[in-house]
Amino acid sequence: MKARRAAFLGIMAAVLLICCREESALPAVAPAEISETKYVALTFDDGPRANTTGRLLDGLRERGASATFFLIGRQIAGNEDLVLRMKVEGHQVGNHTWDHVTLQGKPAAVVQKEICRTDNAIRNILGDGSYWVRPPYGLLNKNQRCCFSTPLVHWSVDPEDWKLKNAKKVVDAVLKKVQPGNIILLHDIYATSVDAAFQIVDTLEAEGYEFVTVEELLALYGITPQAGVFYTDAREITE
């Protein structure tokens, strides 16, 4: 009885194996579709800001798009719920100093205070983690970079949304330039930039783009991020 049962199971296993093989051989279309996915990272500086950041998070969630937020430390108090939502909803949270001061050329003690105070404020909400840094205006001297314990983030597409304050113009500026692997700079403190972000996501998702965090983008391009190194684009590391 046992032998017959074993033989039966053996035959069934063979049938299953054949079925699996046939199934995996059938859809030749799927791998081609996957390789055509274009990845891009939206980044938002200078938040959180209650109304605009909340609306942005709602819209990104509806669209299944991830983004990266570089927060100003002194704006975190009172907006803890938004910071928590960022992490829970799959976004990357980063550090944009406490007071939005230019760090370039500043004494190490000033840089450390600006970064650590913000890092602590983020940790108090989100717990331990590596909260990457984007210095205000992207400025740092070369000899200052070694002080950082996280990767540093620049951008490769800058529509100057803070200057335009016009959703259509911001959308046009981004769509004219965007390519897979880009890091796009926007600010979530302007309603026009939030509107622009939604149109950018809708348009590019229809063209096969997927919106990922900066950390995910670099990983998808096989890049291992290093502390104190600026990342400008997944296809081009500053230094």
Any catalytic annotation for residue 100?
no
37-66 positions binding Ni ion, by CB under 5 A: 45-46
Q: Which residues pair with 185 in a beta bridge?
A: 43
The residue annotated as part of the active site, out of 119, 187, 195, 233, is: 187
Chosen residue from 47, 54, 94, 136 binding Ni ion by CB under 5 A:
136
Any catalytic annotation for residue 187?
yes
Nearest to Ni ion of 62, 99 (CB atom) = 99
**Cβ of residue 68: shortest distance to Ni ion, in angstroms?**
13
**Cβ of residue 115: shortest distance to Ni ion, in angstroms?**
14
Q: Output the DSSP codes for 109-148.
A: HHHHHHHHHHHHHHHHHH-S----B--GGG---GGGGGG-
Residue 161 sits in the site that holds Ni ion (CB under 5 A):
no
**Cβ of residue 100: shortest distance to Ni ion, in angstroms?**
6
Give the residue numbers annotated as catalytic, written as ranges: 45, 187
Instruction: Write out the residues near Ni ion by the rule CB under 5 A.
Output: 45-46, 136
